[in-house]
Structure formats: structure tokens, C-alpha cells
Structure 1
Amino acid sequence: MQIGELNVIEAIIELEVRVRTLERSLGFITEHNPDVKAPSREQLKQISVIAREEVAQRYPSLGLTWE
């Protein structure tokens, strides 16, 4: 499915792989480096808010919003 310049199916699959890679990488780093401070739940929420804002700015024609 294509929306403008965005192939939705390919984007979803690629993003799923990237998210899982990042999650596993973060888990590996924190498990193998006990001195590394992982983000708190509140910090992760703030990171998520910023990421959503960045995605909305990247695709302004989609009118993305989150509650």
C-alpha cells in the first residue's frame, strides 16, 4: 500500500525490525555493563513523546496525532 512517497507495508516491517534491534541492543548493553544507567520509565515516556513528534514532523501530510 502506497501513501504518497511512503510504502506503508515496507515501512512497517523495516520499523519493526529496527525497534526490536534497538530494544535488544539496549537490553544487551544494560545486562553486560552494570555501571551503565538505563533510562527510567519516565525518561522512556519522554523519549517516546519526542519520537512521536519527530515522526509527525517527518510526515506532516498524514496529520499524525497521539493521545
Structure 2
Amino acid sequence: PLGADRRPKLLGHALKDMMPRLFPSSRDPVMANVLLHGVAVPFDAPLADLMREAAYPDGWLSFVVVVL
């Protein structure tokens, strides 16, 4: 997925868009962190890469939000 500026949308931007109170910064985990398959995911990870490499067979990504 691409952002409005035609650049790849990053995980941090998506989290800030969907849950701004938990993720006020799109660069650093301030109030919460995110796990995918039990591993912390960097906020600068492109969503397209995560979809290609880590999606379940049904095409979904399942993140766990850990409040700090």
C-alpha cells in the first residue's frame, strides 16, 4: 500500500492513523509496542513487505499491541 505521497506506507504511519492515542509518534514506540508472530516489529517496516513475508494464509496480519 502506498501513502498519499506515493511512498510505501510504513507500519508506524498506519498505527498512528488507526490508534493515535496509543501511537502518537509514527517513528518510535512511546506508549505501546507491536508484536507480529511474537517478535517486535520496527515502525519503519513497509506494510507491503509485512504482507508479503508475514501474512497468514488468509491474507491477514495479526498484531499484538503491548502497552508500555
TM, length-normalised to structure 2: 0.24
The structure richer in helix per residue is: 1
Of the two structures, which has the highest relative contact order with CA contacts closer than 8 Å and spacing of 6 or more? 2
Larger Rg: 1
The structure richer in strand per residue is: 2
